[in-house]
Chain A
Amino acid sequence: MNRAYKKIDQEDIEFFQSVIPKSRLFIGEEIHEDYSKDELAGVHRYPDVVVEALCAEEISKLLKYCNEHDIPVIPRGQGTGLVGASVAIHGGLMISTIKMNRFIELDKENLTLTVEPGVLLMEISKYVEDEDLFYPPDPGEKSATIGGNISTNAGGMRAVKYGVTRDFVRGLEVVLMSGEIIQIGGKVVKNASGYSIKDLMVGSEGTLGFITKAILKLLPLPKVAVSLLVPFPTLEQAVETVPLIIKSKFIPTAIEYMERRVIKNAEDFLGKKFPDASSDAYLLLTFDGNALDEVERIYEKVADVCLEAGAIDVFISDTQERQESIWSARGAFLEAIKASTTAMDECDVVVPRNQVAKFVKYTKEVESLVDIRIASFGHAGDGNLHVYVLKDQYSDEVYTQKLKEAFDLLYKRAAELGGHVSGEHGIGYAKLPYLVAQQGPVYMNLLKGIKFAFDPKGLLNPGKVC
């Protein structure tokens, strides 16, 4: 959307100051560099003003004012996104939720947790697990805010068994661009009351409304979790085993695939050895349940499936130390790949699970075709792959061109296989051209119509998603 927005002037700042005290308001050079980018840093732009809001009422006043004065508003959590969704690409007012980080209510009778949007994912898991409860979505970035997770419909590894963030949001409090504060959904389990605005709000990347409260669904905490690390002779064999596991009907909580060279990056990055070095390719499976023998019975069935499919062995990780030795490496993959190169961009496509092997194989072809290093790992169990195109020694110009070539090929192939542009990182600013290319005008116009219904002036996080 190319249009002119009002540049923030002194009068606007005075209004902001009447709502937000100076200690929580930053202008121009006071703004920390972090606020000019997100985690992948592909796009840089400083907002004109950053405020740290404390409540929906403050946000309501700010949004109403900006709506009347044509000022873009960018909601912001911890800025751990990867597609530029929280970057102020048109300048304007950035409203950070990092100080809205209170736990409001743990309702044990309804198994819900009500939180403010700035609570971190890692704080949520600790908080509920201390009560023997469980919030299953577990994206790799544990320092992300729940508001950000809801805004991208973050997935994570346990999606195979439990689903994604959308499946665990029961209700939301949202401030609309007009300044109105609305309650959506609630503690109810079922809801057939008209269009599901709640589900629309989840994954809207801050373009439809400003989330100020969330009611999350919880489950009882499974008492036992065991991981299997399964080495295969080749990556293809590893990934081709995934549909066989799904078919066995013994569904793991997570199915990840990983390559030796990415594991090596993580070893270098962490200064810690991975517990196995026998192979170039691995599947990492996790099982949970309430009793060890029950979990054992299930994982042994899947272990046999893996061995029949050509796995070299199946290693069992059943204690805290063993889980840490594997999962600390898995958790460091993104940072480790980042540290192994000069710059990178990522493709977070999702394909049907029985097409994962074809797509992974294709990334290897693209690697030699375009002559650029490509690292990948991902959620083989739900078809969501994280493919990183790495700059290494290339100049900016060559890299930009090769990156485009590689991405064009990868997104095209994903679409051919019945996949979609983003599994869990969202569209933001960076992936918009690929969404447009795949979905075409009819679909994109529907998105624009929805956007118009919520934010007719197009001021809330402009330039993102549609």
Chain B
Amino acid sequence: MNFEVKASSEEGYMEILVCIKQVPGTTQVEIDEETGVLRRDGVASKMNPYDLYALESAMVLKEKYGATVHVLTMGPPQAEHIIKEAYMMGADHGAILSDRKFAGADVWATAYTLSQGVKRFCKPDLIICGKMTTDGDTAQVGPEMAEFLGIPHIANVSKIVDVTRSNMTVEMDMPQTVEVAKVEFPCLITVEKGIFQPRLPSYKLKKSTAQLNVQYYAFRDLEDQDEMKYGLNGSPTQVKRIFPPVGNDAHEIWEGDSDTLTNQMFNALMRLKFI
């Protein structure tokens, strides 16, 4: 499943695709204990907070190197709202993959649908995703999508060190270490919270992009017309149970003289990679 890219970076001009998702507007989401489904009715929605970092990373690269920034989402038509919001943050083109046949997709089917959508929508040198969504929390869709597209990918990127015409060097935040890696375009990265401070949507852009079109793609527009690969049909995951997470209020109390406490604090800061 090879993915061909035009050599746009030779022109010093990148094509960047940012994948975004609409999620519930609050972390206080209720779960229907019987069906295990998130109760979305009446809950305001917003762009997945991690995607704001992805979008900001794209905007920083655009400002620095010149780029066209595309945004893509999959969801119901009301997800158009977050495409418009991306326009207000400086994105140039947006598209929605929307079809009842896509409904009920797990991470595998979602990643596959998105990879099909990318082929239809644009030819990116770089795809940026947020590390994960705040409603699904799997952090799998980005890397799986890259696998479907047959391009290299790096997850948990916490810093972009360097960008050249043909590759980029990034830092990835691993559980025990921070690793520096170089990756050739085209590639996909998923970015950590805090990589850049996301800009706020601009009212000026809101007005100037009010008429800017949002491209819709349905099942019939995609290359692979095998219905069994999409939505619930294409999802190998069976959800057994969904339950609200237990709050983490873990804390430690240390006692001792200032030397002991200083050492303890130093070690803790090291362990948590603050220093």
A 433-448 binary contact with B (CB < 8 Å = 1; else 0): 0000000000000000
Chain A: CB-nearest residue to B196: A273
In the complex, the answer to whether B203 meets A303 with C-beta atoms within 8 Å is: yes
Q: Which of A35-55 contact B (CB under 8 A)?
A: none
B 24-39 binary contact with A (CB < 8 Å = 1; else 0): 0110000000000000
Please name 20 further chain A to chain B contacts, defined as beta carbons within 8 Å, in addition to the given A228-B203, A315-B199, sorted by A numbering: A273-B197, A275-B197, A275-B198, A292-B44, A303-B203, A307-B204, A313-B202, A313-B203, A313-B204, A314-B203, A315-B200, A315-B203, A316-B88, A316-B201, A318-B201, A319-B47, A320-B25, A320-B26, A321-B49, A326-B200
**What are 9 A-B residue pairs whose CB atoms fall within 8 Å in the complex?**
A274-B197, A275-B197, A275-B199, A275-B200, A313-B203, A316-B202, A317-B200, A319-B49, A321-B198
A272 within 8 A of B: yes
In the complex, the answer to whether B200 meets A229 with C-beta atoms within 8 Å is: yes
Residues of B near A275 (CB, < 8 A) are 197-200
B19 within 8 A of A: no
Q: How far is the CB of B275 from chain A (nearest CB, A)?
A: 12
Partner of B52, one of A316, A318, A321: A321
**Which of B47, B196, B197, B200 has the largest number of chain A CB atoms within 10 A?**
B200
Bound together, the chains give a CA A315 to CA B202 distance in angstroms of 5
Residues of B near A229 (CB, < 8 A) are 200
In the complex, the answer to whether A316 meets B197 with C-beta atoms within 8 Å is: no
In the complex, the answer to whether B52 meets A315 with C-beta atoms within 8 Å is: no
A237 within 8 A of B: no
B159 within 8 A of A: no
* 9 shortest interchain CB distances as A-B pairs: A315-B200, A273-B197, A314-B203, A316-B201, A303-B203, A319-B46, A313-B204, A275-B200, A321-B49
Residues of B near A274 (CB, < 8 A) are 197
B206 within 8 A of A: yes
A408 within 8 A of B: no
Question: Known interface pairs A319-B25, A320-B26, A321-B52. Does A314 touch B46 (Cβ–Cβ under 8 Å)?
Answer: no
A300 within 8 A of B: yes
Residues of B near A314 (CB, < 8 A) are 202-204
Chain B: residues with CB nearer than 8 A to chain A? 25-26, 44, 46-47, 49, 52, 88, 196-204, 206
Bound together, the chains give a CA A443 to CA B206 distance in angstroms of 53
Residues of A near B206 (CB, < 8 A) are 316
Chain A: CB-nearest residue to B25: A319
Bound together, the chains give a CA A417 to CA B185 distance in angstroms of 63
A 76-87 binary contact with B (CB < 8 Å = 1; else 0): 000000000000
Residues of B near A273 (CB, < 8 A) are 196-197
Q: How far is the CB of B267 from chain A (nearest CB, A)?
A: 21
Chain B: CB-nearest residue to A300: B203
Partner of B199, one of A276, A307, A318: A276
**Which of B44, B47, B203, B204 has the largest number of chain A CB atoms within 10 A?**
B203
A6 within 8 A of B: no
A101 within 8 A of B: no
Residues of B near A317 (CB, < 8 A) are 200
Residues of B near A303 (CB, < 8 A) are 203
A 286-318 binary contact with B (CB < 8 Å = 1; else 0): 000000100000001001000100000111111
Residues of A near B200 (CB, < 8 A) are 229, 275-276, 315-317, 322, 325-326
Bound together, the chains give a CA A320 to CA B28 distance in angstroms of 12
Residues of B near A326 (CB, < 8 A) are 200
Chain B: CB-nearest residue to A274: B197
Question: Known interface pairs A320-B26, A321-B49. Does A315 touch B197 (Cβ–Cβ under 8 Å)?
Answer: no
Bound together, the chains give a CA A273 to CA B195 distance in angstroms of 11
In the complex, the answer to whether A315 meets B201 with C-beta atoms within 8 Å is: yes
Bound together, the chains give a CA A272 to CA B88 distance in angstroms of 23
Residues of B near A316 (CB, < 8 A) are 88, 200-203, 206
Residues of A near B52 (CB, < 8 A) are 321
Residues of B near A320 (CB, < 8 A) are 25-26
Q: How far is the CB of A47 from chain B (nearest CB, A)?
A: 29
Residues of A near B204 (CB, < 8 A) are 307, 313-314
Q: How far is the CB of B123 from chain A (nearest CB, A)?
A: 31
Bound together, the chains give a CA A229 to CA B197 distance in angstroms of 15
Bound together, the chains give a CA A320 to CA B52 distance in angstroms of 13
Bound together, the chains give a CA A321 to CA B56 distance in angstroms of 14
Residues of A near B196 (CB, < 8 A) are 273
